[in-house]
Structures are given as structure tokens and as C-alpha cells.
Amino acid sequence: MIGVKFDDKAFAKDMKSMLDYSAGFLEGAKSGKMKLLENLGEGFKEMLGKFIDSMATVNPSKLHHVYEWHNNGDPGSRLFDISFTVSTINGLSMFSDFRQSTTVSKSSNVPFFDKANIMERGISMTVRPRNSTVLSFDVNGKAVYTKKPVVVTEPGGPDVQGGFNDAFDMFFNQYLSQSMLYSSGLGQHLSSPKEFVTNFSRAKTGGKSTGYRVGYRWISRGSINFA
């Protein structure tokens, strides 16, 4: 007669350690969520800047106002900053602010104050002479002189108003698709937690604390990477 002795106490202990490891992994992944969102924020910040640069290059009539004069699409000439915040309540939130222009257009001798903001919002302007009694400016290549104030209803041109906001929305609502997140490597990383499997052999001895460390490390390594 052949007998087999089954150590149910050792089995139960091993099972508990593996379950603790799994629970710890999930808790660690949850704790690492904020780090993941920070990684995504940095990636989106870079990608969004490049996207707007590209849009400004191909469609300068809508986005020339958020760059220094005659430098559409140049990252070093941006008149906007992109930032983000991460919180447990709102998750990842992206923001933008406009910078002051420091360059001078061909028709002026001082920088255009609040250039990007005024043109983006379509704020009408009244131009008056400062050091003279006569205003001079070009209209379709012809010099025009007047003593009266000039009201500019569409500073920057008819296509400029809301152009930056449109590009911002287009990036998140159209350009940043699920397929692009996958091609960045993020989708594969999140859908295949290899660290969980490769470290599973440590579950018997490490239990929940090991699972927590592995889960945190796995989720916090998630990022987007576009060439």
C-alpha cells in the first residue's frame, strides 16, 4: 500500500503568503497611482508642446499669436507654459498660461503687451499716438496716417481668437487616442504586469510587504514615450 502524507498546515501557510503577496501588490499599485499620474503629466506636457508647435507651423494664421513675432512653431519662442497638477480627488489636470512677449513687430518700437492673451481672447484694442499727434501704420503694404484713434476689433487676424484653446482641446479629444497610448508603451505596461509574475516566487517568504513593493514599483514605472 502506498501512502502520501499531505502537510495541510504548510500548504495553508504558503497559500496565505501568496494571497498576502497578491493583496500587497494591489495596495502597492494603488499607492503608486500618484507617481504614475506625475509621469503621465510630464509626458503629456512635452507631447502637447510639440503638438502645438507642429500645428503652428502648418497653420500659422491660428497660432502665430502664442509665439514671438515671426517664429511660429519654434519651441524657444513660445509665449505659453504648460503645467499640471496631480491630486487624489481630481487626478491629473493640465493647465496653460501665457507669457509676455519680449520682441518687437516690424510696425512697432515696443513689445506688444499681453499679446498672446489679447489675441487669443479676441479683445478689441484702441490704438492712440503716444509721442506724436499722428498714427502711422501699414494696410496691405500702403502707409496710412491718421490723427484719430484706431480701434482694432480682431487683433492678430480673423482666425486667431480661440486658436490656442482649440489646439489644446484637439490634443486631448482627438490626437491622444487609446491607440496612441498603446504605441507609447503605456498600454502594454499596464496590461501586462510582468513584475507580479517574476517576483511571485518570493511570495512565500515576502508576503504582503514584498507584494506592496513590487506593485508600487510596477505602477510607478508607467510612462509615455514618443520619439
Residue spans of the domains in the chain: they are 9-220
pLDDT at 216 over 80: yes
Residue 110 is predicted with a pLDDT of: 84
Distance, CA of 148 to CA of 137 (rounded, Å): 13
**If pLDDT is split at 50, 70 and 90, which confidence band does 131 have?**
low
DSSP assignment of 74-102 equals -GGGBSEEEEEEEETTTEEEEEEEEPPP-
Cell of 53: 508647435
Give 22-77 pLDDT, tens digit per residue. Answer: 899 899 989 999 999 999 999 899 999 999 999 999 999 999 999 999 999 999 99
Closest CA to 138 of 100, 105, 90: 105
The CA distance from 113 to 86, in Å, is 32
